[in-house]
Amino acid sequence: MSWLALGAILAVALGLRVWGIRQGLPFAYNSDEADHFVPHAVAMFRDGTLNPHYFANPPGYTYVLHFAFGLWFGGGKAVLHAYQLDPAQLYTLARVIAAVLGTAAVWLLYVTGARLFGRGVGLLAAALQAVAFLPVFYAHLALNDAPTLAPLTLSLLGTAGVLRDGRARHHALAGIGLGLACAFKYTAGIVVVPYLAAVVMQRREGGAAALVPALRGLALAAGCALLAFAIANPYALLDYHSFRHELSHQSSLSAESQGKLGAPRSGGLVYYLWALTWGLGWVPAIAALLGALLVWWRRRALWFALVPGPLAFLVFMGLQGRYFGRWLMPILPILCLLAAYAIACGAGAVAARAERAGRASGGRGGRPRPARVAAAVGAILLVLQGAAYSVHSGMVLSRTDTRTIARRWLLAHVPAGSPIVVEPISPDEWAHQTRPGTSTASNPQRWNKYPSLLPRIDAAGALTASLGPQVTIENYERTLAPALIGYYLEHGYCWVVSGSTQAGRAFAHQAAAPLAVAYYRALARAGTIAFAASPYRRGAGPVAFNFDWSFDYYPLAYERPGPYVTVYRLHGGRCSRAPA
């Protein structure tokens, strides 16, 4: 029976993760997805080397994609050809791989839970992770967040074996999972804490005789972890200088205090605790807390293996200058286990009470029905929020992105070659010609697109004589000022495409970007809205800007993916003579 339940859970997990898997394509609208793993996996074929020349994110997932692309398309030349003519094929395959690895993590969590607590807890934990919003949503993108959960949970499985009997193969499994997890995502190294705690508990329970086996197991795990990491990230050693430099740079960016305009100011720990209430769910988050207390009360050794790691992770990540809900994902498997254990304990308490009541009334006791009802109700409450919002996410992602809708309107209403301004809400290919059988990236631009990421104003907001150095999407808002409107009018840039994911950053912290706020207000006065594409369902208000909810579409107000896109038609200057 448990295998049938597990099969259903895995089917639901995979279904939720592939529903809407082609969202946005042929354009990779998520900037992290467009810039990181897929392009680097393809570049290895072009450069003829496995050196990723990029270590800000570890290359484990990149290597998986590289070899998968080679097998699927039949060699490097075919991969390069497909990437040039139809990159959507590669992004779709990369996303499917992320979804499959995310589903594999659900199965591994079941096995881990069954080994630690029993099959019932394993099934509950797997069901929770199968539908929890964060693991489901990020399995739709070619990013390393969801795939990392597979090797991370593999390490937890080895740790569970160490706690149970301490055999060498369990130490090896924990080490292999740890090494691979770190090669996928550096912060996944948090699973070393449960493993070390398991080794210490094994040593304490076994007395002096357990010291040598524990040390041998620790050495085996360390060797397996280093070997697995070296295999999945070989150029961390072969190109150590670049590895160390980019790792230090990435660490400094994460610690940079409020480096992103529009980032929350409530503090990292508060933010992550809030993110748990929707990324995992209110009931699961509270149940995980209760589960931690129950494990301390009933199984003290297991508490040291399961609880300190997530607490240390929350504190460490909360002290960084930047924080995003998806950065919580390395500790979600452990929280799922704790939440499932709390529900199982609750059902067990109901069963014990029913049995006592039956005996007191002169019956034979052992009434299973109340326990089953309690377990069913607890399971439903555990997965209800995640299931509802993950289903909503699938519906949203299966619909056309607002940026694609806006582009179709521009194609129909703005003549080719017209000067336009487009905020950095979409990749460069968005403004190019699209011709079947040809490379979009190499095709000419459909419109004369203003170079939005090249500043034209000085610190005071006045126009400068020449373009400044290129800035990133994070700094774009700080390049805006009302003076740009006059430049647009003078040079015939009569169409301006604005997106809420850019403007929202400025309005979220108006004191930090007063010139940008003034720019948007001047833009609204200087032009009329020719077209707007809303991601919200009819009657729903806009979602306040947030680096999670503006990009992962969690609120039920969303009907489709993308920002609120507004197309302005400017008037005055050369625009007064241009055809509308």
At 9 the pLDDT is 97
Residue 360: predicted pLDDT: 64
Which are the contacts of 245, defined by CB distance < 8 A and separation ≥ 6?
none
Yes or no: say if 526 and 576 are a contact pair by the CB < 8 Å rule: no
Calpha distance 271→318 (Å, rounded)? 8
Q: Is residue 408 part of a domain?
A: yes
- Average pLDDT of every residue of the chain: 90
6 closest CA partner among 102, 90, 93, 121: 121
- C-alpha 293: how far from its chain's center? 29
Hunting for tokens 């509270």 — which residue is that? 286
Helices (H), 185-281: 192-206, 211-232, 235-238, 240-255, 268-276
What is the edge-to-edge ordering of all strands in the sheet holding 419-422? 448-449, 419-422, 495-499, 565-570, 527-533
Cα(305)–Cα(235) distance, integer angstroms: 32
The answer to whether 218 touches 265, Cβ cutoff 8 Å, is no
8 in any annotated domain: no
Of 216 and 442, the one with more pLDDT:
216
pLDDT of residue 239 exceeding 90, the answer is no
Q: How far apart are CA 219 and CA 217, in angstroms?
A: 5
Band of residue 359 on the pLDDT scale cut at 50, 70, 90: low
C-alpha distances in Å from residue 556, one per residue of 137, 390, 538: 14, 11, 12
Q: Which of 54-68, 357-371, 483-497 has the lowest mean pLDDT?
A: 357-371
pLDDT of residue 107: 98
Average pLDDT, stretch 15-44? 94
Q: What is the pLDDT of residue 308?
A: 95
**Predicted pLDDT of residue 209:** 62
**Domain assignment of residue 489, yes or no:** yes
Residue 503 counted as domain residue: yes
CA triplet 224, 225, 231: central angle to 5 degrees?
85
Judge whether residue 457 has pLDDT over 80: yes
pLDDT at site 210:
64
Lowest mean pLDDT among 37-51, 365-379, 411-425: 365-379
The residue behind tokens 């010291």 is 211
Q: What is the pLDDT of residue 355?
A: 67
In-domain check, residue 198: no
Per-residue pLDDT at 256 exceeds 60:
no
Q: What is the mean pLDDT of residues 554-579?
A: 90
The distance between the two most distant Cα atoms of the chain, rounded to a whole number of Å, is 95
Q: Is the pLDDT of residue 255 over 70?
A: no
Residue 11 has pLDDT above 80, yes or no: yes
Q: 460 pLDDT exceeds 60?
A: yes
Q: How confident is the model at residue 438 (pLDDT cuts 50, 70, 90)?
A: low
pLDDT value at residue 321: 76
- Using the predicted structure, report yes or no on whether residue 252 has a pLDDT greater than 90: no
What is the gyration radius of the CA atoms in the chain, in angstroms?
A: 27
Please determine, for residue 329, whether its predicted confidence score (pLDDT) is greater than 80: yes
Please list the residues that pair with 457 across neighbouring strands.
Answer: 463
Would you say residue 223 lies in a domain? no
**Least confidently predicted of 34-38, 52-56, 224-228:** 52-56
Structural domain includes residue 569: yes
Q: How far is C-alpha 258 from the chain's CA centre?
A: 20
Q: Confirm whether 441 is domain-assigned.
A: yes
Which of the pair, 284 or 457, is modelled with greater confidence?
284
Provide the whole-model pTM. 0.92
* Of the listed ranges 20-34, 180-194, 249-263, 408-422, the one predicted with least confidence: 249-263
pLDDT at 441 over 90: no
Q: Using 50, 70 and 90 to split pLDDT, how confident is the model at 363? A: low
Contact between 461 and 482 (Cβ < 8 Å): yes
Which domain, by its residues, includes 455? Answer: 402-576
Could you tell me which residues are beta bridge partners of residue 531? 567
pLDDT for 475 equals 87
Q: Which two tokens stand for residue 357?
A: 């009541």
Q: SS in 3 state form for 468-536?
A: CCCCCCCCHHHHCCCHHHHHHHHHCCCEEEEEHHHHHHHHHCHHHCHHHHHHHHHHHHHEEEEEEECCE
pLDDT the model gives residue 488: 94
Question: In total, how many domains does the chain have?
Answer: 1
Dump pLDDT digits (tens) for 201-235.
Answer: 877 766 666 677 878 989 999 999 999 999 999 99
State residue 375's pLDDT score: 78
Q: What is the pLDDT of residue 473?
A: 86
* Distance (Å, whole) CA 550 – CA 573: 35
Three-state DSSP class for 22? Answer: coil
Q: What's the pLDDT band for 295 if we cut at 50, 70, 90?
A: very high
Residues 6+ apart with CB under 8 A from 38: 28, 65, 87, 90, 91, 94, 142
Q: Which of 137-151, 270-284, 366-380 has the lowest mean pLDDT?
A: 366-380
**pLDDT given at position 102:** 97
pLDDT: is 248 or 416 the higher one? 416
Both tokens assigned to 428: 């460069």
Whether pLDDT at 189 is above 60: yes
Token representation of residue 449: 């697109």
